[in-house]
Chain A
């Protein structure tokens, strides 16, 4: 049978996905051909090349890189944080990014919707940090956000169902298809089951329930859009589980071995992630060390050194 996937470049659909599922992913499938799409494959078997995410804009900043200005931001949803950027080579998005930045700097709570492509960085020790390169974004109202919460919950439940169905089945296309895994999830499910170890899906259900209760208006407020400067978000447990290293130790370890060189924010961040921290904990740790204990300093924006 002649495969036609080489000549066919149909557009990748935008996967609705909560931050936690996306950020837990450590499996990247790079397209073989020059124009083949790459994917982040999640534990639930979603193959994400493009995604549609929504949430509260938690952070937005402009940075200057070698190839021009770019923008970075974070978006909170009930499960966690999505990281996105607008690249220097997307100047057509810069006016909108600038406007969003201005809106953010007014201190107002802003809900955004972002369509973007998968992006991933690998740290030296093999940790994977997933983020999103925005293709387009806009501010949305509360009703639209709630509607997205339902859609993302629906999509996640569909994947959970497929994951459950895959449990008894052989990891082949026929077997998974026969077990009821939808065709768009089959190839991702095979790869995810081969790559990830068994995990408890209960955590997924927790934030799906949160999403529903917010969509139904049962939660008092939407914590993800209350931006507070005292960093630690309310629903993130203060201590990480026993198996992950304290992110502060990870950061200080990197600093002591950097030989006085400046270390980029992203590197510290992804090192913490790969050591098992959540994204929030990693960020908090960096801010804590910089602002509270002052063990590290930020002599140049986005670059850190040891204070001692």
Chain B
């Protein structure tokens, strides 16, 4: 491949800045940087531009009447002026949010977020600005890290200043992300509070479990010995991972100073490093292990991705086993089924010789949670983790009729769950409702006959409805697949298809809006909750008839209103 083709993107940028430069020469320069200096073209951009600016006489910075473009090296945002270009400053990256934006009719990948100046001191002495990244610097702009920006510019809009990171800006990582915040204060937090924090914490807790473990290095260079376990106080419990020796036994009460809280999937975990101090703590009033373990029991509604060391009681709904070929060519058996408790249902997967019968009640100790199709999946790895209970702690659950009613707000604030029912008002019918085409390879929806993964495809038609369910405080996206959508519309997919082709998609959606907008709907199905919000996948839905008299009486009673 010639330099010109290989570096076409970067060459185009240089040409913008230095129109007179020769493309072949620019290409050579990039090749030189990459081959000789091992500097990839993205990072070489600024240097190359500078070189050609000088050689083609584009820029005469010292004596021109145009705004002075000298490099301005500052420590604080407050030293910047509204028209400053070519700024050098070190900042802490607080957030980085990529987004695709139409710029002059072209789709561009940009990103925005927050940065703070004065990055080497505590956050209270920093100033925070918005920034926009026009140059795809996502690899360096990692939240938590400190970077040096060279060639950034100030943008002022509506009296508010922000920083533009341009394609020609050089971003150098000064300090890698995470762990930048120094331990704050000496007051220990409760475990419940510490679980909400990301960063350094001090806490006091009782060791519930501690087991040596190893982490296998991905590059095959060996194993790292670690200790995994769990500590608890009366507010809750949290898993820990110690990278150094941990010689406190189960039941010991300890004070941990300067541990960091990280999230493993959706579950916070305490990391104990070389800098962390652990000391024995004395408090006779602190709850003992038995008491803490008792309050530790979880139910299906509490499960979150990444949890370990779970104790839970379950009723088996169904069970099956499946044989498949492992990576090493051996055949392996995995057993799995649906399980229930009074708070809902989930899957259970066993990597051991476990064969329960439907209807049996079991107890699991030390299970873990991973996600399967957006829902929690409990996993056990050996038979010692399960025991059969002869007495169920609850009335036997009828699987045919086991729907747990959950308030929409509780759904949005909880974890992903199956077997739930909820209700709310439809406030939007989202685009993509009706007949859509799916990629035959991956089932993604095609846009203009094209799959984002597999390119142009002959799509397979499918039916889907997408609503937004809202109760005034919380909301969730609601998805109806083909079956539930057909049931709700009272038509087969073929009928719906011919209706849409005769009246048009807009009228179809408009009719749908007339039918559902501002109406209350009940939903049975499952939910998946992530940072973007909650999604409901309906097994079935029904519009609820308004009953204003009943509703009014209920609300008046609630607020003690008398007419």
Q: How far is the CA of A229 from the CA of B71 in the complex (A)?
A: 68
B563 touches A150 (CB 8 A): no
A-facing mask of B434-451, CB < 8 A → 1, else 0? Answer: 000000000000000000
Which residues of chain B have C-beta atoms less than 8 A from A182's C-beta?
473
Please choose the segment from A213-221, A267-275, A283-291 that sits at the chain B interface, where 4 or more of its residues have CB less than 8 A away: A213-221
B518 touches A115 (CB 8 A): yes
A54 touches B518 (CB 8 A): yes
- The one of B160, B517, B561 in contact with A115, judged by C-beta atoms closer than 8 angstroms, is B517
B513 touches A216 (CB 8 A): no
Given contacts A146-B548, A147-B551, contact A136 B130 (CB under 8 A): no
* Minimum Cβ distance to chain A for residue B557 (Å): 11
Please choose the segment from B4-12, B75-83, B421-429 that sits at the chain A interface, where 4 or more of its residues have CB less than 8 A away: B421-429
Q: How far is the CA of A139 from the CA of B97 in the complex (A)?
A: 39
Given contacts A14-B475, A153-B555, A209-B561, contact A8 B517 (CB under 8 A): no
Of residues 1 to 38 in A, which have CB atoms within 8 Å of B's CB atoms? 1-4, 6-11, 13-16, 32-35
B506 touches A136 (CB 8 A): no
CB-based nearest A residue for B132: A34
CB-based nearest A residue for B158: A30
**What is the interface residue range for chain B against chain A?**
35 or more
A208 touches B561 (CB 8 A): yes
Q: Let me know if B113 is at the binding interface, CB within 8 A.
A: yes
Q: How far is the CA of A182 from the CA of B409 in the complex (A)?
A: 12
Please choose the segment from A154-162, A173-181, A258-266 that sits at the chain B interface, where 4 or more of its residues have CB less than 8 A away: A154-162
- The one of B425, B555, B563 in contact with A157, judged by C-beta atoms closer than 8 angstroms, is B555
- The one of A7, A96, A136, A218 in contact with B113, judged by C-beta atoms closer than 8 angstroms, is A7
Which residues of chain B have C-beta atoms less than 8 A from A113's C-beta?
517-518
B518 touches A144 (CB 8 A): yes
Q: Let me know if A75 is at the binding interface, CB within 8 A.
A: no
Q: How far is the CA of A12 from the CA of B129 in the complex (A)?
A: 24
Q: Let me know if A83 is at the binding interface, CB within 8 A.
A: no
Which residues of chain A have C-beta atoms less than 8 A from B196's C-beta?
1
CB-based nearest B residue for A96: B510
A138 touches B513 (CB 8 A): yes
Q: Let me know if B104 is at the binding interface, CB within 8 A.
A: no
Q: How far is the CA of A113 from the CA of B95 in the complex (A)?
A: 38
* Minimum Cβ distance to chain A for residue B163 (Å): 13
Which residues of chain A have C-beta atoms less than 8 A from B112's C-beta?
33-35
Which residues of chain A have C-beta atoms less than 8 A from B113's C-beta?
6-7
Of residues 515 to 555 in B, which have CB atoms within 8 Å of A's CB atoms? 517-520, 531-533, 545-549, 551-553, 555
B558 touches A154 (CB 8 A): yes
B563 touches A213 (CB 8 A): yes
Q: Let me know if A148 is at the binding interface, CB within 8 A.
A: yes
Q: Let me know if B234 is at the binding interface, CB within 8 A.
A: no
* Minimum Cβ distance to chain A for residue B298 (Å): 23
Q: Let me know if B487 is at the binding interface, CB within 8 A.
A: no
A149 touches B472 (CB 8 A): no
Which residues of chain A have C-beta atoms less than 8 A from B160's C-beta?
32
Q: Let me know if A87 is at the binding interface, CB within 8 A.
A: no
A215 touches B548 (CB 8 A): yes
Which residues of chain A have C-beta atoms less than 8 A from B267's C-beta?
none
Q: Let me know if A143 is at the binding interface, CB within 8 A.
A: yes
Q: Let me know if A184 is at the binding interface, CB within 8 A.
A: yes
CB-based nearest B residue for A1: B197
B473 touches A217 (CB 8 A): no
A144 touches B546 (CB 8 A): yes
* Minimum Cβ distance to chain B for residue A29 (Å): 14
| Interfacial residues, chain B to chain A (CB-CB below 8 A) | 94-97, 99, 112-114, 130, 143-144, 160, 196-199, 425, 427-429, 468, 470-475, 477, 506, 510, 513-514, 517-520, 531-533, 545-549, 551-553, 555-556, 558-559, 561, 563
Ranked nearest first, the 10 interchain pairs of A and B with the lowest CB-CB distance are A146-B548, A113-B518, A147-B546, A6-B95, A215-B552, A10-B533, A143-B546, A157-B559, A215-B548, A7-B97
Apart from A6-B97, A11-B475, A95-B506: 17 A-B pairs, beta carbons within 8 A: A7-B95, A8-B531, A11-B533, A14-B427, A14-B472, A15-B472, A52-B470, A113-B517, A115-B518, A138-B518, A144-B518, A147-B546, A154-B559, A161-B559, A212-B555, A215-B548, A215-B552
7 residue pairs of the A-B complex, CB under 8 angstroms, read: A1-B198, A14-B470, A33-B112, A143-B547, A212-B561, A215-B551, A217-B548
